[in-house]
Amino acid sequence: MPKSSKKKKEKVADFTKAKLKLGKGKKLPSNVVDTSFKARSIALPTQSITIERDNVPTTKKKRTFDDVLSLLKHYNVSIRKAAPDAISSVKELLEEFPDLVNGYLPLVLSSCARLIADEDAGVRKTLLSFFDWLLSWVPKDDLLPHAPLLLLFTTSAQTHIFPEIRIDAVRFLDLFIQVLPEAVVTGWDADGSGPGRRVLDGYLGLLNAGTKFGASGGSYDASATSTSSVVLSSQSRLVVLRSLSNFLRCATQSQLATDKSTTTQAALSLPTWFMRPFFTSPSLYDEHSYLFGASGADRREKQMQWTLEPTFDLFDEDFTYNPHTFAIVPDVPLALTELPGFSALQDKSDSSPEDIAVRIRLARTLFSTLSASYLECAPVVFSPSVNPPETDLQMLTASMEITRILYSGILQSASQGTDVMPSCDELKTLIGYLTCHFPFKPAHRDIKAEQAFQNLNVVYCELTSLVVLVSSWRSSEGGGREDTRTSSLSQRASLKPTKAAKSDIRTELVCAYIIRVLNGEGEGGALLPRPLTPSAYVALLPSVWALLNRAPGISSDLEDVPSSVLSAILDHAVRTTSGSAVKRLTVEFVARLLLLQGERGYMGYFSPSGVGADEKWQHWVLHLPKALWEMGCSNLSCSETILQALLRLVQRGSSVIRSEHVTSLSSRLVPFFTASHPTRGDIPGPFTKMPVSAQHTRRLALDLSATLVADIIKGERGDASHRDLERAVRVATAGTAEEAYWAQLAAVMQLS
């Protein structure tokens, strides 16, 4: 019985499913087969069984261009972390194989543009360094087609959620502004016609300006542009303000320089816009501004030999005759030497009312940001005990530069009848934050700080002069000088005493600073004076003109301001050496002041003969031949300016140039052509060393000599100075292309 029950249980167990216990897996049978396997990959970058790469450019790590670019746009984040190394590999390949840039530039820029907003700070830093190298190495014409792509990713990064990415985007913009300024600022003053508007909105968003710039129709209520409520650090705000200053400088320039040589200090042109309202008509102002035309070295006009009966085979001009062309010529007397550059007179254009309206809206939008920068940085920068921190000094410099760019364009338009008084009041408020610290000077001796403070002083003087000039322009709308003086007195009487006193204080401070700088004096005698650079001298000219052209009788305390400033200007012009980069600017500005006496339509207060400085005027005129001789051929543009100034002064006549001065000029000009030595004979002067290409300058010298000789002969003065000059010119021009020209002048003007 027990045996049979046991067998029954065994039979049942064979067909019964085992119950698994909780947490126990199924027991594997004893005869199970393990089918799992493991595989390992072996990378052999130096070998290939499919492609022969012996002639393919590779890096030191044996990576090709395609291998490197694949790392820049890989979908895997861990692989894309090698982007800095990949960017360095791209630079290595381009340096080793420069021909690759022609075929791979679009791929490189498109791959790298996506990394502008990369969240890895190391990637952005490496990319910025790579772009700094690449954009300066590749020709500008090859980069322009790719500018929209680069700016698209950069403006997108300006609105990124992370502040550090937005700041790095501004650094990329700084780089693009240096290389491709036209592409960056295009459409900054229009709605949606270029990347410039998106770039500007990005700046305002970073600065928390509060309203979207460019609201049309005079409405300033618009949506906020701030991308986050995070307050920027001082370093980050400095990056944004400095970049915005560069952007606005490029955007507001009438013509963007295409060659670095045109932006050098020596090539600066003399501004005359501040004289415009003091002429009765724009055409008469243009006549005065055109007194010193383009340099002869910049002329590229065609020249042909005149014949009595020309044939058509001799003509190779690239234009056809159009009688309507000559109908646009105004009734302005032009000398023959001025005709080739006549197109420059027609090409002048002022800012349109739309451009001025855009600047006014932008200035109003940035007013709170600029005020905050002034109030925050001015007490720290102008501390009397310690020199300022570098960040605060640069931030104040950038803020003042933005103020100068915006408000100078706005207030200059007042001469065209634009209502700019709200903007003028804003500027008065801004410079009021700085008046108590002016003139600016560092607490301790520091060459770098001294230069920065001199730049701040120059900008402050320029901003103050704008306010003064706007007031004088408004008062000059009444008519003549007497009406203008009456209007100025009544306008000043209507002002509150505090406002008039503040204006006088600012004017007196600026006047004292300008006189001290022109006289070469340091601050309080403790610091050595810094020489004026051409850009600083040009920036001071509006202030100088505002002080020279002050209406008499407005303030008894400032009656001597015009004479003091003129004396400083003349002393500085004589003291400036012939090799200085400022010499040409001083000659042109002083000559323009002296020529105002006989200008048609001039109705300003300033008069060269009314300030009691005749001796200094004469000293300046008589020192020009010496400067011309010292200059030689080292600075042809300055030599041409000196010759033009002397020629126009002698031709037009002046109360400060009398007959004895003409004789003195004639004798002092002789060594410029030929010097006569007792033992060595005739010694060639600088005129004979001028290059043949400087034909315009050489002929200006002959025109001046002929005019001086003719004036002496006409005056029947019994000296032999004109004979010495005539002989020196004949010896210097013998055997040259100018010999026939001098013979024609002598025959026409009856010099012999």
Among 348-357, 359-368, 493-502, where is mean pLDDT lowest? 493-502
In this predicted model, what pLDDT tens digit does every residue of 718-742 receive, in sequence order?
Answer: 556 668 888 888 989 988 888 889 9
Measured CA to CA in angstroms, residue 127 lies from 138, 148, 159 at distances of 16, 18, 19
Residue 80: partners with Cβ closer than 8 Å, 6 or more residues away: 71, 72, 73, 74
Give the mean model confidence (pLDDT) for residues 34-48: 75
In a domain, 682, yes or no: yes
pLDDT class for 201, splitting at 50, 70, 90?
very high
In a domain, 603, yes or no: no
pLDDT class for 608, splitting at 50, 70, 90?
confident
Give the mean model confidence (pLDDT) for residues 254-274: 57
In this predicted model, what pLDDT tens digit does every residue of 218-239 receive, in sequence order?
Answer: 433 334 344 445 678 899 999 9
In a domain, 44, yes or no: no
Residue 643: pLDDT over 70: yes
Residue 536: pLDDT over 80: yes
In this predicted model, what pLDDT tens digit does every residue of 412-429 receive, in sequence order?
Answer: 887 666 778 889 999 999
In this predicted model, what pLDDT tens digit does every residue of 650-685 receive, in sequence order?
Answer: 888 777 777 777 888 888 999 999 888 777 878 888
Domain that holds residue 692: 658-751
pLDDT class for 84, splitting at 50, 70, 90?
confident
Among 94-98, 378-382, 528-532, where is mean pLDDT lowest? 528-532
pLDDT class for 397, splitting at 50, 70, 90?
very high
In a domain, 557, yes or no: no
Give the mean model confidence (pLDDT) for residues 178-196: 86
In a domain, 280, yes or no: no
Give the mean model confidence (pLDDT) for residues 603-613: 79
pLDDT for res 657: 77
In a domain, 673, yes or no: yes
Please tell me the distance from the alpha carbon of residue 447 to that of residue 657, in angstroms, as a whole number. 43
Please tell me the distance from the alpha carbon of residue 190 to that of residue 357, in angstroms, as a whole number. 11
pLDDT for res 415: 65
Residue closest to 549 by CA, chosen among 600, 505, 604: 604
pLDDT for res 413: 81
pLDDT for res 554: 56
101-115 burial string, b = 16+ CB within 10 Å, else e? beebbeebbbbbbeb
Give the mean model confidence (pLDDT) for residues 492-510: 65
116 vs 44, more confident:
116
Sign for the CA dihedral angle at 29, 33, 36, 40 comes to: positive
Please tell me the distance from the alpha carbon of residue 195 to that of residue 182, in angstroms, as a whole number. 10
In this predicted model, what pLDDT tens digit does every residue of 330-358 receive, in sequence order?
Answer: 443 444 344 334 333 333 445 677 788 88
Q: Do residues 592 and 272 make contact, with C-beta atoms less than 8 angstroms apart? A: yes
Mean pLDDT, the chain, rounded, equals: 79
How many independent structural domains does the chain possess?
1
In a domain, 178, yes or no: no
In this predicted model, what pLDDT tens digit does every residue of 452-486 receive, in sequence order?
Answer: 998 999 999 999 999 888 877 665 554 444 444 44
pLDDT for res 394: 95
In a domain, 681, yes or no: yes
Between 695-715 and 721-733, two packed helices, what is the crossing angle to 10 degrees?
A: 150
pLDDT class for 80, splitting at 50, 70, 90?
low
pLDDT for res 443: 84
pLDDT for res 102: 84
pLDDT for res 655: 75
pLDDT for res 209: 57
Token pair belonging to 255: 């013509």
In this predicted model, what pLDDT tens digit does every residue of 205-216 receive, in sequence order?
Answer: 998 754 455 544
pLDDT for res 19: 72
pLDDT for res 416: 65
Residue 629: partners with Cβ closer than 8 Å, 6 or more residues away: 671, 672, 685, 686
Q: Within 13 Å and on the Cβ side, how many CA atoms surround 169?
A: 29
pLDDT for res 64: 82
